[in-house]
Amino acid sequence: MSRSAPYDRETALDAAMALFWEKGFHATSIKDLEAALVMKPGSIYAAFTSKETLYLLALERYFAKSRSGFRAQLARASSPLNAMAEHFRAYARLAPDDVSRRACMLTKTLVDTRTTDPAIAAVTRDYLSAMQSEFSAAFTAAQKAGELADNADPDRLARRFQANVTALRLALHQGMQANDFAQLAEDMAMEIKDLRKKPCA
């Protein structure tokens, strides 16, 4: 009897993340995971213990990639506010088959598990809070760079920014017409630009 090919953990987690992101925790079956990971159920449990553990690992992977992508965007931009504005515009340039056109996995997870799986929901809230802290740090950097007024509240701006990102990605997920979506993304980008501190007369 031939042995199953050894699994690559990173590849398996990427496949699990993509599947869970698309279908959610509850709608994803072990059969689905078996096909996506190209692993037998026994091998899945041996490697990841349980479906919940695998989901949490996939969620952690999604969060880490999201945070890393945002930090890279900040590092590339000419200023923090320019990076924040570009964050919105970038969604309008996504290819039709880009997985980032889906609604945020964290948002979808919270909706899916809030009343049924409190442990997963709690972790998801922590990740959403951590992303909000990333946004707040970016606004703080903009303030230190003189882009924002001294009395601006980075935490308050971060909450609004996160809400706008969530709304924008939901519109993309729902299939808003490309022109309408590009206008919406640009409107949100201009809201960021309008925060720029006006030079003294």
One DSSP character per residue, 66-97 reads HHHHHHHHHHHSSSHHHHHHHHHHHHHT--TT
- The C-alpha atoms of residue 69 and residue 58 are separated, in whole angstroms, by 16
Q: What is the mean pLDDT of residues 86-114?
A: 94
Distances from the Cα of 165 to the Cα of 69, 97, 161, 171, 193, angstroms: 14, 20, 6, 10, 15
**Among 58-62, 98-102, 121-125, 130-134, the least confident range:** 98-102
Cβ(185)–Cβ(168) under 8 Å? yes
* 169-173-177 Cα angle (round to 5): 95
| Tens-place pLDDT, residues 10-23 | 999 999 999 999 99
Q: What is the mean pLDDT of residues 71-94?
A: 96
**Encoding tokens for residue 83?**
């990076």
* pTM of the entire predicted model: 0.91
Q: What is the mean pLDDT of residues 166-180?
A: 94
Residue 1 pLDDT grade (very low, low, confident, very high; cuts 50, 70, 90) = very low
Structural domains for the chain: 60-193 (1.10.357.10)
Q: What is the mean pLDDT of residues 181-187?
A: 97
| Tens-place pLDDT, residues 17-59 | 999 999 999 999 999 999 999 999 999 999 999 999 999 999 9
What was the pLDDT predicted at 123?
98
**Encoding tokens for residue 38?**
């190209």
